[in-house]
Amino acid sequence: MSQRSITSFFGKK
């Protein structure tokens, strides 16, 4: 299994 980055879910403001 691989781990996604949290930034791929929440866009930068």
Partner 1 sequence: MFEARLAQSAILKKVLEAVKDLLSEATFECSDSGIMVQAMDNAHVSLVSLNLRSDGFDKFRCDRNLSMGMNITTMTKILRCASSEDTVTLRAWDNPDNIIFIFESPSKEKLAEYEMKLINMDQEHLGIPETMYSCVVKMPSAEFARICKDLSQFGEAITIACSKEGVKFSAAGDYGNANIKLAQTAEVDKEEEAVCIDMQEPVKLTFACRYLNSFVKATPLCAQVKLSMSADVPLVCEYSIGEIGHIRYYLAPKIDD
| Min separation Cβ 7 and partner 1, Å | 6
Q: Which residues 1-13 are close enough to bind partner 1 by CB under 8 A?
A: 1-13
| Min separation Cβ 5 and partner 1, Å | 5
| Min separation Cβ 8 and partner 1, Å | 7
Rounded Cα–Cα distance for residues 13 and 3 (Å): 23
Rounded Cα–Cα distance for residues 3 and 6 (Å): 9
- Site for partner 1, rule CB under 8 A: 1-13
